[in-house]
């Protein structure tokens, strides 16, 4: 959104790396004992199933539409003197940081309903991040919200839950998306969802009570920070176990997954970042060197066997 030219590298079609697979572009709407039903009326039979539906996003499905959306958002940022960001999680903080660094003359405001930004990590990392945002002249309003249903950029004035008025030329909504598990609530796996609507999995990442259905990523009930790189670790374990099961290997030989220690890196502009490590918290250029340069896009492309363009 801040640098649209970057989006071309970050948008990857599944058919670019899944060269020997069938890709169906449709939503899964139900599951039986051996079939997944899709929104377009098709059914897909399976011997083994991996559920990785993460969170529900309503973004365009084609690369062309996504690129156009980023261009539109970029023009909105460029033409505005003031920007309101609703949500102080990782997406909201990273967007605010990029705008504040690339456009230091623009007024940036974050409204967050929680008591601190980046609530998914520790208090020390949150405090360091808040101090960094304030140093970049980003206004942060905590324990307040904005009624998303009444948002309009027509008059340029937004009212928070405490009655505070905020003037902004445009806004971006960066609040958490709902889990992508609603389609499972009336399915054969409805009893495998916990009270938070996450799929319960065992140490082999199999869905509770199922020998041939696995789950990975944000949709699982694994007690750890929900991060993309951890979903990759889940996938590695599941791949091993699928190969073993297809060979007829006994259950006690399957690979086990151990919940990861708290670890997170949030980029702050182009060169800085904040990192929460198992035994330390740091902010500045070192975390930025790890993530902020290309947001792991190059590493992801390499992992998928794609040539990394610049």
SS (H, E, C) the chain: CCCHHHHHHHCCCHHHHCCCCCCCCCCEEEECCCEEEECCCCEEECCCEEECCCECCCCCCCHHHHHHHHHHHHHHHHCCCEEEEECCCHHHHHHHHHHHHHCCCCEEEEEECCCCCCCCCCHHHHHHHHHHHHHCCCEEEECCCECHHHCCCCCCEEEECCCCEEECCEEEECCCCCECCHHHCCCCCHHHECCCCCECECCCCEECCCCCEEECHHHECCCCCCCHHHHHHHHHHHHHHHHHHHCCCCHHHCCCCCCCCCCEEEEECCCEEEEEECCEEEEEHHHHHHHCCCCCHHHHHHHCCCCCCC
Same domain as 150, residue 205: no
Instruction: Indicate whether 83 pLDDT > 70.
Output: yes
What is the pLDDT, as a whole number, of residue 153? 67
Rounded distance, CA 153 to CA 155, Å? 6
Instruction: Indicate whether 204 pLDDT > 60.
Output: yes
Rounded distance, CA 263 to CA 122, Å? 10
Name every residue whose Cβ is closer than 8 Å to that of residue 190 and which is 6 or more positions away in sequence.
184
Same domain as 299, residue 171: yes
What is the pLDDT, as a whole number, of residue 302? 92
**pLDDT, greater one: 116 or 155:** 116
- Quick one: what percent of the chain has pLDDT higher than 90? 81
Q: Residues 56, 58, 64, CA angle at the centre, nearest 5°?
A: 130
Same domain as 268, residue 163: yes
Same domain as 269, residue 182: no
Same domain as 208, residue 126: no
Average pLDDT of the chain to the nearest whole number = 93
Mean pLDDT in residue range 179-202: 96
Furthest CA-CA distance within the chain: 65
Each residue of 261-299: pLDDT tens digit?
A: 888 999 999 999 999 988 899 999 999 998 988 888 998
Same domain as 162, residue 74: yes
Same domain as 140, residue 248: no
Q: Of the spans 14-18, 142-146, 225-229, which averages the highest pLDDT? A: 142-146
Q: What is the pTM of this model?
A: 0.90
Instruction: Indicate whether 307 pLDDT > 80.
Output: no
Each residue of 228-257: pLDDT tens digit?
A: 899 999 999 999 999 999 999 998 999 999
Let me know if residue 274 belongs to a domain: yes
What is the pLDDT, as a whole number, of residue 177? 87
Name the pLDDT band for 219 (thresholds 50, 70, 90). Answer: very high
Which residue segment(s) compose the domain that 189 sits in?
4-59+178-253
- Going 246 to 250 to 253 to 255, the CA torsion angle's sign is positive
What is the pLDDT, as a whole number, of residue 309? 53
Each residue of 111-151: pLDDT tens digit?
A: 999 999 999 999 999 999 999 999 999 999 999 999 877 77
The residue among 174, 177, 182, 175 whose CA lies nearest residue 199 is 182
Worst-scoring range by mean pLDDT, 63-77, 115-129, 145-159?
Answer: 145-159
99-to-169, 178, 201, 290, 295 alpha-carbon distances in Å: 14, 26, 40, 20, 16
What is the pLDDT, as a whole number, of residue 234? 98
What is the pLDDT, as a whole number, of residue 123? 94
Instruction: Indicate whether 108 pLDDT > 80.
Output: yes
Same domain as 68, residue 165: yes
Name every residue whose Cβ is closer than 8 Å to that of residue 241 and which is 6 or more positions away in sequence.
204, 205, 206, 214, 254, 255
What is the pLDDT, as a whole number, of residue 149? 76
What is the pLDDT, as a whole number, of residue 308? 56
Angle of the 123-135 helix axis to the 90-102 helix axis, nearest 10? 30
Let me know if residue 258 belongs to a domain: no
Same domain as 42, residue 12: yes
Q: What is the CATH number of the domain that holds 85?
A: 3.50.50.60
- Going 109 to 102 to 175 to 226, the CA torsion angle's sign is negative
């Amino acid at each position: 959104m801040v640098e649209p030219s970057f989006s071309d590298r970050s948008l990857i079609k599944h058919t670019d790396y899944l060269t020997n697979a069938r890709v169906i572009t449709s939503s899964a709407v139900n599951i039986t004992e051996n079939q997944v039903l899709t929104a377009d009326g098709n059914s897909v039979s399976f011997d083994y199933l991996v559920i990785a539906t993460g969170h529900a996003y309503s973004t365009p499905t084609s690369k062309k539409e996504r690129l156009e959306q980023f261009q539109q958002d970029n023009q909105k940022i460029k033409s505005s003197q003031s920007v309101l960001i609703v949500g102080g999680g990782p997406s909201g903080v990273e967007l605010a940081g990029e705008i504040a660094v690339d456009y230091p003359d623009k007024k940036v405001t974050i409204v967050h309903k929680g008591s601190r930004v980046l609530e998914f990590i520790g208090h020390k990392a949150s405090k360091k991040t808040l101090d960094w945002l304030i140093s970049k002249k980003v206004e942060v309003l905590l324990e307040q919200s904005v009624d998303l249903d009444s948002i309009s950029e027509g008059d340029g004035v937004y009212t928070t839950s405490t009655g505070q008025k905020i003037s902004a030329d445009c806004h971006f909504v960066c609040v958490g998306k709902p889990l992508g598990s609603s389609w499972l609530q009336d399915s054969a796996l409805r009893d495998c969802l916990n009270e938070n609507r996450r799929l319960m999995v065992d140490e082999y990442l199999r869905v509770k009570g199922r020998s041939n259905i696995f789950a990975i990523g944000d949709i699982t009930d694994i007690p750890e920070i929900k991060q993309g790189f951890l979903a990759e670790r889940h996938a590695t374990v599941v791949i091993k176990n699928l190969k073993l099961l297809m060979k007829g290997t006994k259950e006690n030989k399957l690979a086990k997954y151990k919940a990861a220690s708290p670890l997170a890196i949030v980029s702050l502009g182009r060169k800085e970042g904040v990192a929460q490590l198992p035994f330390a918290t740091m902010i500045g250029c070192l975390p930025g060197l790890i993530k902020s340069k290309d947001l792991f896009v190059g590493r992801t492309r390499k992992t998928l066997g794609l040539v990394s363009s610049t």
